[in-house]
Structure 1
Amino acid sequence: MSVTIGVDIGGSHISSAAVSSNNLKIIPGTYFSGAVNSKASKEIIIQKWALIINQTIKVIKETKELSSNETIGIAFSMPGPFQYQTGIAMFEGNDKFESLYNVSVSDELLKCLSTKNVSFRFLNDASCFGVGGALRQESTGNNKVVAITLGTGFGAAFLDNKLPITQGSNVPNNGCLWDKQFKDSIADNYFSTRWFSNQYESVTGEKLTDGVKEIASIENYSTAKIFDDFANNLSNFLSPYLIDFDADLLVIGGNIAKSYRLFLPKLKENFKNNNIDISVSIVENTEETSVLGSSYLFNEVFWEKIKAELPSF
């Protein structure tokens, strides 16, 4: 395929863009995004997803980026729980897209797309972000990459030569970190927006109205300490996993990453003090990186290596 459409599905958004297989870059004018109510009905969610994807399809058809009879590959960066081999959503009890439970996203989307000559592939959103981050860092020669997303939840992927690794003695089960034990709870409760909200309310007695960005804009002793505590927690949690995987590069994305200047220096200092020699890359355009990573699912060499081991969670 000369052109692939990469789609990033988030808890409150969808982004879609066409990616050229020749240079692995987003084709100008094909990137569209929109807000999605994850608590809406199945019909509304599918229609919104189709609306955005159809805009990308319209542009590549009008600009003749592909021949009229060419199948369009549509690759999804999709959060779990999801059956990635079959395209069936398994969202249940996780406060998002629950109306899609046990629904074939492929079948339902096909009813709403402007063309039926399409092929679908799916991969976990954290893995897609990791693949996209690894592709953008390819010139640096980093082969073993750990990619994390810090936002409403805590996503992670372990990649060896761009391949997501989900099992083995040197990676956590399923290649996930969100559900692993940390202090008195799980990691997701420490490395997400709600941790910042809870800390801020505990220190000030006030509730946040604009997330981590609001804390970052205040810049006083209390907020600086919150970011220092976050950096200390993150380095303490990640260090054993980085060492076990022998990672060359840590890629950090998500909305919290946009405030990197407030936690990155401390994070790097802690790694150095722990004798962890690792490069750290901040990705501020997380959605575009995930779109790029998802589009790589139609690289047939890559697909042949991962398709038999796609996670089902």
Structure 2
Amino acid sequence: MAITIGVDIGGSHISSAAVNTNDFVIISETYFSGAIDNKASKEVIIKKWAEIINKTIKAVQEKSEYAETDKIGIAFSMPGPFQYESGIAMFEGNDKYESLYNVSVSEELSKYLNVANITFRFLNDASCFGVGGSLLENAASSSKIIAITLGTGFGAAFLDNKLPITQGNNVPHNGCLWDKPFKDNIADSYFSTRWFLNEYEKSTGEKLTDGVKEIAAIENFSTAKIFDEFAENLSGFLSPFIIDFEADLLIIGGNIAKSHRLFLSKLQENFKSKNINTTISIVENTEQISILGSSYLYDEIFWEQIKTELPYF
């Protein structure tokens, strides 16, 4: 029997779960998560990752007829910069996990996992979210999908029949949007938590620290104006990419997506005014969807299609 475990690595967390690869759903009682100090030492970070993954391993062993000879495939939804083919972290100058620079995650992690028969596969976190979103029932009829995550940063993936597309005339370089120019800066400066905090402080003179959720809970004229401007910016930025890619579905996840009641209708209205009728799907359980997407790396047909073109960024 082969066991597949999906792992989502965030800027300050790790989540892990076993996935039934027959229908790509998370196996109950195998989901675990924990906070991570991304400025800790290599050993502290790797041990914490292993601690959470070991909980999933133990849970799935208890729930199935597990034998020591069974193979366990661990698939990572991993932020960049990262060498996804070799599994070597390249975090440098990005203020997170820098102690893992030039470290082989699979080699180091193997030292602390409670099983021996393991393989590892890695994919960019935004791509995993997109792949996971494409596996959802409401995405079944969509072939060309743009998936974005809105949170501490701005992630994006372009998918054609579930395959992440990173090069070509109709997609931006590396399939990324965070670094593309927008107004007087780059997109990441407008479609992340810090934009909301800065705008709220500019509007009210009050400094908030708890993120978009705190702003969304206030619900006054200032916050409504901020969310309307966000919808205006997002529709204006995304429209050319949606048109060029001919996307029939836009999937939105990340913490900001949880406040969609304050911007979704305006976003849809703005798209329609540009004659864009792309369906929008909001995903609130972003980590679980990323886990599902990473586990799809152990679909061997998908893996054969993607393994020789894994991105390095």
TM-score category of the 2 structures, normalised to the smaller one: over 0.9
Mapping for residues 57-76 of structure 1, pairs under 5 Å? 57-64=57-64, 66-76=66-76
- The CA distance in 2 between the partners of 1:113 and 1:12, in whole Å, is 21
Residue of structure 2 equivalent to 1:271:
271
Question: Residue 209 of structure 1: CA displacement?
Answer: 2.3
Question: For residues 122 and 263 of structure 1, what CA distance do their matches in structure 2 show?
Answer: 33
Match of 1:150 in 2: 150
Extract structure 1 runs of 4+ deviating beyond 6 A. none
Counterpart of 1:252 in structure 2 is: 252
Q: Deviations over 1:249-283 (max 9, x none)?
A: 00000000000000000000001000011100000
Aligned-partner SS, 1:293: helix
One-letter code aligned to 1:211: G
Q: For the residues of structure 2 that align with 1:220 and 1:239, how far apart are their CA atoms?
A: 28
Q: Deviations over 1:65-114 (max 9, x none)?
A: 54431110000000000000000000000010000000000100000101
| Residue of structure 1 in register with 2:101 after alignment | 101
Counterpart of 1:217, as a letter, is A
Task: Compute the displacement of 1:188 (Å).
Answer: 0.4
Between the aligned partners of 1:68 and 1:138, the Cα distance in structure 2 is 38
Say which SS state the counterpart of residue 16 (structure 1) adopts. Answer: strand
2:2 and 2:161 map into 1 onto residues whose CA distance is 23
Contact 1:18 1:56 in 2 (8 A): yes
1:174 aligns with 2:174: yes
Q: Could you tell me how far 1:9 is from its partner in structure 2?
A: 0.1
1:262 partnered with 2:262: yes
SS in 2 for 1:112: coil
Distance in 2 (alpha carbons) for counterparts of 1:210 and 1:18: 31
Deviation, 1:2, is: 4.1
**Displacement after TM superposition at 1:138 (Å):** 5.8
Q: Distance in 2 between matches of 1:143 and 1:169?
A: 18
Q: Secondary structure at the match of 1:115?
A: coil
Report how far residue 234 of structure 1 moved: 0.2
Distance in 2, matches of 1:137 and 1:191, equals 27
Aligned length: 313
Judge conservation of contact 1:81–1:312 (CA < 8 Å) in 2.
yes
Normalized against structure 1, the TM-score is what?
A: 0.98
* 2:92 alignment counterpart: 92
Q: Distance in 1 between matches of 2:234 and 2:208?
A: 22
Structure 1 residues 139 and 266 mapped into 2: Cα distance closer, same or farther (>3 Å)?
Answer: closer
Aligned to 2:191: 191
2:77 matched to which residue of 1? 77
SS of aligned partner of 1:96: coil
**Relative to 1, partners in 2 of residues 1:139 and 1:170: Cα closer, same or farther, differing over 3 Å?**
closer
Alignment check: 8 A CA contact 2:197 2:209 kept: no
Using the alignment, how far apart are the partners of 2:65 and 2:138 within structure 1?
26
Aligned mates of 2:98, 2:256 — CA distance in 1: 26
Q: Which residue of 2 aligns with 1:134?
A: 134
Q: Is the 8 A contact 1:182 1:237 kept in 2?
A: yes
> For each residue in 1:178-228, what CA deviation from the matched residue of structure 2 results, as whole angstroms up to 9, or x when unmatched?
000000000000000000011011111111121100110011111000000
Counterpart-to-counterpart distance in 2, 1:253 and 1:127? 12
Match of 1:297 in 2: 297
Cα distance in 1 for residues equivalent to 2:92 and 2:274: 39
Q: Which residue of 1 aligns with 2:234?
A: 234
Amino acid at match of 1:176: C
Q: Partners in 2 of 1:139 and 1:259 — Cα distance? A: 21
Give the 5 Å matches for 1:279-290: 279-290=279-290
Structure-1 separation of matches of 2:233 and 2:139: 31
Is 2:165 the partner of 1:165?
yes
Deviation at 1:64, TM superposition (A): 2.2
- Is residue 2:312 matched to residue 1:312? yes
1:221 is matched with: 221
- Per the alignment, do residues 7 and 121 of structure 1 end up closer, same or farther by CA in structure 2, a change over 3 Å counting? same
Query: Quick one: distance in 1 between partners of 2:61 and 2:140?
Result: 35
CA distance in 2, matches of 1:182, 1:233: 9
Q: Tell me, which stretches of 5 or more residues in structure 1 are unaligned? A: none
Instruction: Provide the C-alpha distance between the structure 2 equivalents of 1:83 and 1:65, rounded to a whole number of angstroms.
Output: 35
Q: Structure 1 CA distance, aligned partners of 2:66 and 2:277?
A: 44
What amino acid is the match of 2:12?
A: S
Amino acid at match of 1:25: V
Within 2, Cα distance between the matches of 1:65 and 1:127? Answer: 32
CA distance in 2, matches of 1:38, 1:220: 35
Query: How much does 1:21 deviate?
Result: 1.2
